[in-house]
Amino acid sequence: IPLPDRLGLSGPDLRGTRIYFGRDDRPRIMGGRELDGNPGQVYLRFRAATWRVEKAEIGRLGGNPPGVLWGVLGHDDPEVVCKTGDQCIIKRRTGWKTMDAGLGTARRVDLQGKEAFAIHGHSVEILDGLAWREVSGGAKIDAPTGVWGDGKEHWISDASPGGARLWHGKDGSWESFPSPVSEPGTLWGSGPDDVWLAGAEGLAHYDGERWARVAGADGAVAEVFGREGEVWAAGASGVWLVKLTPGGRAGG
């Protein structure tokens, strides 16, 4: 679906954005762009067969001065919309609240269950009430790319140039392991004994005891996500519904 010319956006403008489906099942595009050499924002909603700017959905964050937007949108609580140097809107079905966004810009924000995690250049934070709290303080992470956690136990993928690793944190201590796939990326899990990892060589799965490559899920996988008993993977060759057979082979 092409972007209308009136929006003044080109392909390069979307490199700092992500697409989401909101609670009305309509897609949004949110993120940042460069505008006359300064940071700008993108917040679009698709309705009536076209993309439209929807500043009313983000309150004062759509006003001046313009700034990069980051967060996560979707059906689950909470939705998070932050503007660098301004504030975050925490949208729950029970109402909206705001908090300070700080000066940093997260690379991405992911929901794992009811927990929101912000991935920065060298750290990962969890939304704790109305503040971001670092969860990776005991881990020397070079390049975090994904996170799974339930508030007590966490996995973080690290695409460090010095060697791709996975970090496991529990009870305040951290340990690291070589990544089962090169260029590890996003993580998703239904619980501590069911965690999935996307990477350049496919998928890996953690069953609560060990990580293993998932046979049959070959080729680069950019995203892995699941809900309600389903696991989905997306990469250059398409989008798949993934199912594990008793032998640990992927199908779908």
Mean pLDDT estimate for the chain: 90
Q: Tell me which residue range forms the domain holding 231.
A: 106-252
- Weakly modelled stretches of the chain, pLDDT under 70: 244-252
Number of domains in the chain: 2
Domain check: are 79 and 132 in the same one? no
User: Among 102, 123, 149, which residue terminates a domain?
Assistant: 102
Whole-prediction pTM value? 0.89
Last residue of a domain, one of 102, 126, 160: 102
CATH number at residue 133: 2.120.10.30
Q: Are residues 150 and 57 located together in one domain of the fold?
A: no
Express each pLDDT in 18-74 by its tens digit: 999 999 999 999 999 887 778 889 999 999 899 999 999 999 999 988 889 999 999
Q: What's the chain look like in SS3?
A: CCCCHHHCCCHHHHCCEEEEECCCCCEEEEEEEEECCEEEEEEEEEECCEEEECHHHHHHHHCCCCCCEEEECCCCCCEEEEECCCEEEEEECCEEEEEECCCCCCCEEEEECCEEEEECCCCEEEECCCCEEECCCCCCCCCEEEEEECCCEEEEEECCCCCCEEEEEECCEEEEEECCCCCCCCEEEEECCEEEEEECCEEEEECCCCEEECECCCCCEEEEEEECCEEEEEECCEEEEEEECCCCEEEC
- 80 & 185 share domain: no
